[in-house]
Chains A and B, each alone.
Chain A
Amino acid sequence: MNIATIFEIVLAAVVLGLGIWTIAVRETYSATVGFVAYGLLVALIWVRLDAVDVALTEAAIGGGLGGVLLLGAAARLRDAEPTVAEAPGIVTRLSAAALSALTAAALAGAIVFLPDPAPTLAPTVVSHASATSLANPVTNVLMAFRAMDTMLEKVVLLLAIIGVWSLAPDNAWGGHPGPRHQADPDGILVFLARLLPPVGIVVAIYIFWTGADHPGGAFQGGAILASMWVLAIMAGLTDTPPVGRRWLRFVLVAGPGLFLLVGLGGLWVGAAFLAYPPALAKPLILGIEVAMILTIAATLGLLLAGAPERGVK
């Protein structure tokens, strides 16, 4: 057993410990903190599984933005711990434990007795990479071979934001999402919110651009852009835009809208829905990704901000 394997087993054990902590700890806030740490360590597991694209997504969305979302909610719900009477009885607990143990055991058995040789689509993906002239196989799958999934995922983001906005009270309809944040102008938060965004924006654009050939892409870049925006909002340097603004709605539909147009164009030119003409594949994919990174950044930021709470003055 070499040192890398020992590291992996220790990593799995620590992640498992954090998972248990998240479920078992009494206070909601501690559980949230545990889950954020869990998310960041899971990103390390993804690196060890040689899936760096997923690791970047998990660290940015699962650990980073998801952590902000859960911690914010936990802070606002601090006084709302339910009474003991609501806790389920011992019978429910025992049956839930039995059910969970059975599920975990079945999955563990499936992992131990996976078929050999393992089925894989990697050679098929690599042999068709010339069709798009992108070298990153994951970007190829996301943007070309299974582009339908990615387009529908953009629609899910759009539906989620419509759902969040529709929870606004009448007097805040079309107004600013979330509370107006105030921070000490000489404090560390404001300092970081001035220092980090220029660097973060460059990193996000680099991760987006390098996604064609190396790990990265519109999701990861968009998540970093969103986090820079959220940082500036939380430091009180800028306010969330009123959700009634036309430019904002245009940015939100730009990604899925362009994707749909290109898809219908593929149908019209002849091959199939979402089929890119081979000569234009790379420019078309790049165009969709530019629209998508803006849509993803705006949508993730607004999902974090929540429902409109203040009307437009």
Chain B
Amino acid sequence: MSGPTAFGLCAAVAVGLGLYGLITNPHPLRKLIAFNLLGSGVFLLFGVVGRRGAAASVGNDPVPQALVITGIVVAFSATALAISLLLRLFQKTGSTTLSNVAPPNASSDPSGG
């Protein structure tokens, strides 16, 4: 087994693990982490495919590399937005549950915003 293939298999399992965590873990922050794990696996798959496309004295196909760099930045901003939503939800309701049942101590937000 060559190095890139090992990384490729690792990436495939990371996608599977992320998907499982995303579905089964009830905590929203854990769901976010699982989703980031899934995304990281997809990026690594790009890297493995790009590594096989090494040519013209470039070690890794630059087009998928550029796509992954863009992807990492976009994933970070989406995660930051999701965490802000989550913190605001916690601030407003005192809980991070995503179910429809309202927690008993709702309207604990002093600011009224």
Chain A residues proximal to chain B, CB less than 8 Å:
4-5, 8-9, 12-13, 15-16, 19-20, 22-23, 28, 31-32, 35, 38-39, 42, 45-46, 48-51, 53-54, 57-58, 61-62, 65-66, 69-70, 73-74, 76-77, 80-82, 86-88, 92-93, 96-97, 99-101, 103-105, 107-108, 110-112, 114, 118-123, 125-127, 137-138, 140-142, 145-146, 149-150, 153, 156-157, 160-161, 163-164, 167-172, 219, 296, 299-300, 303-304, 306-307
A160 touching B80 by the CB < 8 A rule? yes
Please, which residues of chain B bring their CB within 8 A of the CB of A103?
Answer: 15-16, 19
Please, which residues of chain B bring their CB within 8 A of the CB of A35?
Answer: 33, 36-37
Please, which residues of chain A bring their CB within 8 A of the CB of B63?
Answer: 121, 125, 141, 145-146
CB within 8 A of A111: which of B12, B24, B109?
A: B12
A307 to B86, CA, bound (A): 11
B27 touching A81 by the CB < 8 A rule? yes
B7 touching A82 by the CB < 8 A rule? no
A92 touching B26 by the CB < 8 A rule? no
A-side binding surface: helix, strand, loop or mixed?
A: helix
Residue B112 at the chain A interface, CB threshold 8 Å: yes
**Interface residues as binary, B1-25 with A (CB distance below 8 Å gives 1, 0 otherwise):** 1111111111111111111110111
Q: Which residues, 25 to 84 on B, are CB-close (under 8 Å) to A?
A: 25-27, 29-30, 32-34, 36-37, 40-41, 43-45, 47-63, 65-70, 72-74, 76-81, 83-84
Please, which residues of chain A bring their CB within 8 A of the CB of B66?
Answer: 138, 141-142, 146, 149-150
A158 to B87, CA, bound (A): 20
Min C-beta distance of A46 to chain B, whole Å: 6
A160 to B1, CA, bound (A): 42
Residue contacts A-B, CB under 8 angstroms, 21 given: A5-B1, A5-B3, A9-B3, A42-B40, A49-B7, A49-B47, A49-B51, A50-B59, A50-B60, A51-B60, A77-B86, A97-B20, A100-B19, A104-B17, A111-B11, A122-B62, A123-B55, A141-B63, A157-B73, A168-B113, A170-B112
Please, which residues of chain B bring their CB within 8 A of the CB of A303?
Answer: 76-77, 80-81
A167 to B25, CA, bound (A): 25
Please, which residues of chain A bring their CB within 8 A of the CB of B86?
Answer: 73, 77
A54 touching B47 by the CB < 8 A rule? yes
The 3 closest A-B CB pairs, nearest first, are A50-B59, A104-B16, A169-B113
Determine the interface band of chain B, counting residues with CB < 8 A from chain A.
35 or more
B81 touching A96 by the CB < 8 A rule? no
Instruction: Using known A-B contacts A5-B2, A23-B21, determine if residue A65 contacts B76 with beta carbons closer than 8 Å.
Output: yes
B29 touching A73 by the CB < 8 A rule? yes
Please, which residues of chain A bring their CB within 8 A of the CB of B50?
Answer: 49, 51
Please, which residues of chain B bring their CB within 8 A of the CB of A88?
Answer: 23-24, 26
Instruction: Using known A-B contacts A20-B17, A111-B8, determine if residue A86 contacts B97 with beta carbons closer than 8 Å.
Output: yes
Min C-beta distance of B85 to chain A, whole Å: 7
Q: Which residues, 83 to 105 on B, are CB-close (under 8 Å) to A?
A: 83-88, 90, 94-97, 99
A9 to B34, CA, bound (A): 23
B3 touching A23 by the CB < 8 A rule? no
A240 to B34, CA, bound (A): 30
Please, which residues of chain A bring their CB within 8 A of the CB of B7?
Answer: 8, 12, 45, 48-49
